[in-house]
Structures are given as C-alpha cells and as structure tokens.
A and B are shown apart, each in its own frame.
Chain A
Amino acid sequence: MNDFVSLNQGSGGKLTHELIEKVFVKRFGMAEPLTDSAILKDSGFTLAFTTDSYVVDPLFFPGGNIGKLAVCGTVNDLAVSGADPRYIAASFIIEEGFPMHDLVVIAESMAEEALRAGVKIVAGDTKVVDKGKCDKLFITTSGTGILKPDMEHIGTGKRIKPGDKLIINGPLGNHAIAVLGARNNLSFSTPVTSDCASLNHLIHNVLDICKEIRFMRDLTRGGLATVLNELAVMIGSGITIDEASVPVDDPVKGLCEMLGFDPLYLANEGKVLIVAGTGEETRVLDILRSDPLGKYAEIIGEIIPDKKKLVVLNTSVGGKRILDMPSGLQLPRIC
C-alpha cells in the first residue's frame, strides 16, 4: 500500500476495503465477513454493536446536518442487522472557535432524531482541539441494541438462495447530491434534499410480518453498487439488476448526466437493500410503500447462480453490462 493515506481510501470502494483489511481487521482479530453490526453473545444476551464516524462537509445540508446523520447512521446499522436499537454513545471532536450556536443546533437535531427513533444517547465525550487540527467538527457514534430472535443470518446473508428478490425503499443518490449542492464550490444548485432518516421503525414493520427476509444492508458511501458487490462476494453468487426499476429522482439524474456520476455509486443515508425469499417480495413492497420512508420502494433485481459472483446490470435499453465495485473517489466526505 502507499506511504501516505489518500482521500481515495476513504471513499467506501475497493481501496477502503483494502485499507481496512490490511491495517485493522486481522490485527484486531475481527470476525469475517464484516457486517453492519457485530453480533455479541454473552451471558444469555445477544447484542448488536456498531460504531461510525461522521466527517461530512459541509456540516449543514438540505435535509439534515452532521448530528442527525450520526444518529440515523448508527440506528440504521443496528436495524439492518435485525436488532432493536437502544443506546448510543456520542463523541465530539470540536475545532477551537466553532460557533456555539451551531453546536447547539446540531445537539438539538441529535436529540430530536433519537426521540424519533426511540433510542437514548447515554454516554459521550468531548474534545476541543487547536484551530486547524480538525475541520470544524467530527462526531463518532457507537450504538447497541438487542438482536431480535433468529436474526443472525440477516447481516451475513447465509440463507440467500438463487431466485431471491432485491428491494430498495426509494430513490438513490439524494444524500450525495444534497451534500454536493451545499458545498457551493461547483457552480450548480439543486432542489434535492438528503434522504437522511432512521429506518428502524420501517424495518421493524417488515421483519414483524415477513418471515422470509434473507438479508439487509443500508446503502451509504459507495452506493448500491458497492453493497451489491460485497453481497455477491459474501454469498458466492451472482446478482442481476434491472436498471429501469431503480428509482432515481430527475434532478439527481440531470446532475449525474452533467458531471459524469452514476447514481448507483452515490451515497445514501436513508436507504436499505432488502433481500426477500421468493414469494415474499410483494408483501415487503406493500409494507414499505405504506410508510413515507418507503413510498417509492421497488423490486430491482434477483439473486442468480453464478460462480463468478458478478453483478450484471440489464440496461434500460435492453443491453447488459457489469456493475463493478467503485474504484476511488466519486465524492469525498459525504458522510
């Protein structure tokens, strides 16, 4: 690997995976495959436990701010692992001179979101560093929740079979575009707002009624394409995606056309990929669509037997191509 860490290695794609593998995973003795939350069994309890850092730039964007993002992100990592999120710890690294008013607004957002999600922020830490030693504010949140019965397969996908259907709860790329638009250093603007939201209630409704849910993962940086590629490798099987079924809002499309981005690789903060057993998908769709956070849910693809573990896109005009893992940076500091 290179001598100095590069921005590319934080983008969520192949280079990030390589960094994590080579520097951290083996040294920490972590169990593989890596999933959104660690499942911990101790003295009769089974807990899900997760942690994330938030370095989004700018701190405030249409649809949210770094605080709301931190709570939603951790809640979602627990929820997609099949757990009921319960407790969050939040650490703040603050740059000297940061406006107190902004810190209060961010803390308010976190409190509001925690209430909405039904979780408690129970521990925290605060450090202030010299001006220039961190970019305004970084937040790290860790969270834990109790795993619902018989949910351990949800993070690893080991019950997935060919024919199982892939579903997402709404349009892709809104978070990335909202953040990019808020940066103001590229000359465009959009009406797009971040999809940042806690999905635990939505997921709870699905898991309560549907018993054939094989896998879930939330789509963050690196987008849908990253999760699909990770999944294909994890289960040793192939995936086909129907491009025409994947919902993307018009302004996101317009921006992607102009800037050469692919919405399938853009970050989201309120989207979950659900793999449902054959026959279960319509029920999942109905439950999702009856909720504001799943109104535009769609079935987008299927698991297929393929030893090469490829993700194949059936394009909107009837052609075929491979949807690869993203390489380096599409957009830095998106979450």
Chain B
Amino acid sequence: MKYIDEYRNKDLVMKLTDLINKSVRRDYTFMEVCGGHTAAIHRFGITSLLPGNIKLISGPGCPVCVTGTDFIDKAIAYSKMEDVIITTFGDLIRVPGSASSLEKEKAAGADIRIVLSGLDALEIARINSEKKVIFLGIGFETTAPGTAVTIKLAEKDYIKNFFLLSAHKIMPPAMEAIIKEGVNLDGFICPGHVATITGSAVFNFIPEKFNLSCVITGFEPADILQSILMLIRQVNRNTPKVEIQYSRAVTVNGNSIAQRHLSEVFEPCNAQWRGFGVIPSSGLMLRKDFERFNVENNTPVRINFQEDNELCICGEILRGLKTPYDCPLFADICFPENPLGACMVSNEGSCNTYYKYRLTK
C-alpha cells in the first residue's frame, strides 16, 4: 500500500538502525507523546532494534487514557435515560468508569453504538429523530475539527436531536505540564497527526523556553527511526529546535481550513486530565453560538465522583514518571480482559501496548 509499505521496508529500517547505533554518544531519553507512536513502536518491535542507551517514555497522547472516570460515568448516566442513543468511538466502550463501563451497559440493554466518525453519529440522529443522539467527542487536535464540522452540519440542517459530550483536548499544554513536572527528557517525538492540523509552529515553545529537541514524526517504522536519529543529532550538536520528519503531511502552519472550523465551533477551557488533574486551557468546549449542542446544557446529569483504584498508577505512567512494569497491578490483576485503568483498555494505552507487545526477556 502506497505511503505505508515504503516506510516499512526492512532494508531501510536496518540502515536507519545502523545509523542510530553509529550516532549515539551518551544516554538519551525521548518521550513519544502520541498513543499511535507508542503502539507503532511496540507493534514493530522497534525497541528491540535500538541500542540500550536510548530510552523511550510514553506520554499522555492517548485520548482514551487521559479521559477521566467522570466522563465515562456521565456517558453511562445518559445511556440509561429514555430514548437516548449514545454514539462513540470504539475504544471508549471498555474504559472502566467508577462502577461500570459502556460495554457492560450495552450488555444490559442500553442503546450504545460504535461509529467511525461524527458524520455517522449525525446520520443516526437524522434517522432517529424521536431520540436524543449523543456523540462522545474524544480526541485531540486531529479529531476535534471533524467534530466541529459535524456540529456545523447539524446546525445548518436543524438537527435538533444531536448532542455532544465533549472531552476534546489539545496537546501543547500537556507537554508543557510534563516538562514542568521535571521529567528527565532530552526531547519529544512529536505527534504527527496533531501537527498535520496545527502545524509545527505550536511546538516552538518547547526548544525556545525549555531547550528540548522536537521532531514531528510519522507513524511508520522508518519515520520513527529517522526521527530518533534526528533527535540524537540535535542533542549531540546541542541545537534544540522543531524539525519536521513527517513532511509529507505536516507543514509549519498546518491545515488552516481545519483550524478555522475548530476555532469557529470550539474555544479553550480548563480540562481534567487523568493523572494530571486540571491543566489550564487544555480542553475544548463549544462556543456560545453552539452551546445548544452541549448535552450537559440540555440535560444535566449528576454523578457520584469516585477516585480511581488507589493502586493504579495510570497517572504517573501518563506523566512519563513510571512505566507499566512499575505498576503492582500490571499483568497481575490488571490486564486487557480486566482493565483497572484506562491505560490498559485503549489500544494505544501504554499498559495495553506493553502487555500485548512485550518482548521476550
């Protein structure tokens, strides 16, 4: 398949690995922020190719993982109401709330449907005009513009029964929070698809303010290895900057049309990130003009907020402070069939990835 196979070429990967081995001069710690990168690194066994002095830490770029328990609890509360259809991306369905999950509620009879797109959810709303259709909006800057377009279409076509429960977030504030945490890092493998929308410039503050290296990275093995090589060279030369490895999809200014849709419909707000608490201006909420689509305005719900399992260290894992192997629950009572935290549920979650793709020791 074009634009995939070329970047999975074994010879190319071997060459890049060789170059990396020849370029290392010291220990390096890089954080891959995006869950898609965590998954790719482990799926292709990239860690097994890297020399021991390169350490990769997984960051909070898995939208499912950083979505709080309260969001799931709210979604569950809505699913129990009369004449409600919940539409959601697939990953969210197994995330544990404080007492249940969307999957369990579906088994008990709630109308919960997996969709691939906000547009599918809108279509369900058109067909089921007598029901309230609630779309669970999760995802970062890659996904939020699609939700914005969907809301605009709902507005244009007077779809009165379509609503949004938004947990959309943006990446740069979380990356800044991690740096301020004091996590020991040399640089970031920056999220390639987020940057497709935002452009690379939004990451400039990282080298400028904090002297850390950044490379905007694609998702194939050759992309990831080339980025690691670029990061190593930046560190060796002490020239931290933002470089674009994923140039076939990312530019400095990004996709201005998508950005326009996003800013027409959403504005920044404070947001709760699992493991971080509240990060200022890191979430997206509907602007006043589109407020009526916010299901919480239309039908408020009350939930009993409960703390997560106190032994679960998802928060520290998301902040890059610990790895799944440091968790007492990992692979013991917390595993994909019985996830205790969001990091184990999502296909992109660190714990799920480490569990599925672990190496022979």
Do A and B form a real pair?
Answer: yes
List chain A positions with a Cβ less than 8 A from chain B. Answer: 4, 6-8, 13-15, 185-188, 244, 250, 253-254, 257, 259-260, 308, 310, 312-313, 315-322, 324, 327-328
A-B contact count (CB 8 A): 89
Complex contact B221–A317 (CB within 8 A) = yes
- Return 24 A-B CB contacts under 8 Å, by A number: A4-B107, A8-B103, A8-B337, A14-B337, A185-B113, A186-B116, A250-B1, A253-B1, A308-B360, A313-B45, A316-B44, A317-B44, A317-B46, A317-B221, A318-B17, A319-B48, A321-B42, A321-B44, A321-B45, A322-B357, A322-B358, A327-B335, A328-B336, A328-B337
Question: Residue-by-residue, is B37-62 near A (CB-CB < 8 Å gives 1, otherwise 0)?
Answer: 00000111111110000000000000
Residues of A within 8 A of B337 (CB): 8, 13-15, 327-328
Complex contact A186–B45 (CB within 8 A) = no
Q: Judge if B111 is at the interface, Cβ distance under 8 Å.
A: no
Residues of B within 8 A of A328 (CB): 94, 336-337
Size band of the B side of the interface? 35 or more
Residues of A within 8 A of B336 (CB): 327-328
From B42, B49, B357, B360, give the contact of A310 (CB < 8 A).
Answer: B360
CA of A154 to CA of B108, assembled, Å: 42
- Least CB distance from A245 to B in Å reads 13
List chain B positions with a Cβ less than 8 A from chain A. Answer: 1, 4, 8-10, 13-14, 17, 42-49, 90, 94, 103-104, 107-108, 113-117, 119-120, 221, 335-337, 347, 355-360
From A186, A250, A316, A320, give the contact of B8 (CB < 8 A).
Answer: A316
- Least CB distance from B70 to A in Å reads 24
Chain B residue at minimal CB-CB distance from A238: B360
Complex contact A187–B116 (CB within 8 A) = yes
Residues of B within 8 A of A317 (CB): 8-10, 13, 44-46, 49, 221
CA of A310 to CA of B4, assembled, Å: 29
Residues of B within 8 A of A316 (CB): 8, 10, 44
CA of A14 to CA of B355, assembled, Å: 14
Chain A residue at minimal CB-CB distance from B225: A317
Chain A residue at minimal CB-CB distance from B219: A257
From A13, A185, A244, A320, give the contact of B359 (CB < 8 A).
Answer: A320
Q: Which of B1, B337, B347 has the most C-beta atoms of chain A within 10 angstroms of its own C-beta? A: B337
Using known A-B contacts A260-B347, A327-B336, determine if residue A321 contacts B13 with beta carbons closer than 8 Å.
Answer: no
From B9, B45, B355, B356, give the contact of A319 (CB < 8 A).
Answer: B45
Complex contact A7–B45 (CB within 8 A) = no
Chain A residue at minimal CB-CB distance from B93: A329
Complex contact B120–A187 (CB within 8 A) = yes
Complex contact B45–A320 (CB within 8 A) = yes
CA of A239 to CA of B1, assembled, Å: 29
CA of A56 to CA of B195, assembled, Å: 42
- Least CB distance from B325 to A in Å reads 14
Complex contact B45–A315 (CB within 8 A) = yes
Complex contact B114–A186 (CB within 8 A) = yes
Complex contact B42–A318 (CB within 8 A) = no
CA of A162 to CA of B120, assembled, Å: 50
From A15, A188, A321, give the contact of B358 (CB < 8 A).
Answer: A321
Residues of A within 8 A of B103 (CB): 6-8
Residues of A within 8 A of B94 (CB): 328
CA of A315 to CA of B337, assembled, Å: 25
Complex contact A319–B44 (CB within 8 A) = yes
CA of A317 to CA of B360, assembled, Å: 17
Using known A-B contacts A320-B359, A321-B48, determine if residue A257 contacts B4 with beta carbons closer than 8 Å.
Answer: yes
Residues of A within 8 A of B13 (CB): 317-318
Complex contact A321–B8 (CB within 8 A) = no
Residues of A within 8 A of B49 (CB): 317-319
CA of A328 to CA of B336, assembled, Å: 8
CA of A312 to CA of B48, assembled, Å: 13
Complex contact B46–A319 (CB within 8 A) = yes
Using known A-B contacts A7-B107, A244-B10, A317-B10, determine if residue A322 contacts B360 with beta carbons closer than 8 Å.
Answer: yes
Complex contact A321–B1 (CB within 8 A) = no
Residues of B within 8 A of A319 (CB): 44-49, 221
- Least CB distance from A171 to B in Å reads 15
CA of A40 to CA of B10, assembled, Å: 49
CA of A322 to CA of B331, assembled, Å: 14
Chain A residue at minimal CB-CB distance from B357: A321
Complex contact A6–B107 (CB within 8 A) = yes
CA of A6 to CA of B108, assembled, Å: 10
> Which 10 residue pairs spanning A and B have beta carbons closest together?
A319-B45, A327-B336, A317-B13, A327-B337, A321-B45, A321-B357, A315-B45, A317-B221, A319-B48, A320-B45
Residues of B within 8 A of A188 (CB): 116
From A13, A254, A312, A315, give the contact of B44 (CB < 8 A).
Answer: A315
Given contact pairs A318-B13, A320-B45, A327-B335, a sample of 9 additional A-B residue pairs in the complex whose CB atoms are under 8 Å apart: A260-B347, A308-B360, A318-B10, A319-B44, A319-B49, A322-B356, A327-B336, A327-B337, A328-B94
Residues of B within 8 A of A318 (CB): 10, 13-14, 17, 45, 49
Chain B residue at minimal CB-CB distance from A251: B1
CA of A324 to CA of B353, assembled, Å: 11
Complex contact A187–B117 (CB within 8 A) = yes
Residues of A within 8 A of B356 (CB): 322, 324
Using known A-B contacts A186-B114, A188-B116, determine if residue A324 contacts B45 with beta carbons closer than 8 Å.
Answer: no
Chain B residue at minimal CB-CB distance from A18: B337
CA of A319 to CA of B50, assembled, Å: 10
Chain A residue at minimal CB-CB distance from B339: A327
CA of A308 to CA of B359, assembled, Å: 12
CA of A313 to CA of B48, assembled, Å: 12
Complex contact A322–B359 (CB within 8 A) = yes
Complex contact B120–A320 (CB within 8 A) = no
CA of A219 to CA of B331, assembled, Å: 27
- Least CB distance from A187 to B in Å reads 6
Residues of B within 8 A of A250 (CB): 1
CA of A46 to CA of B10, assembled, Å: 50
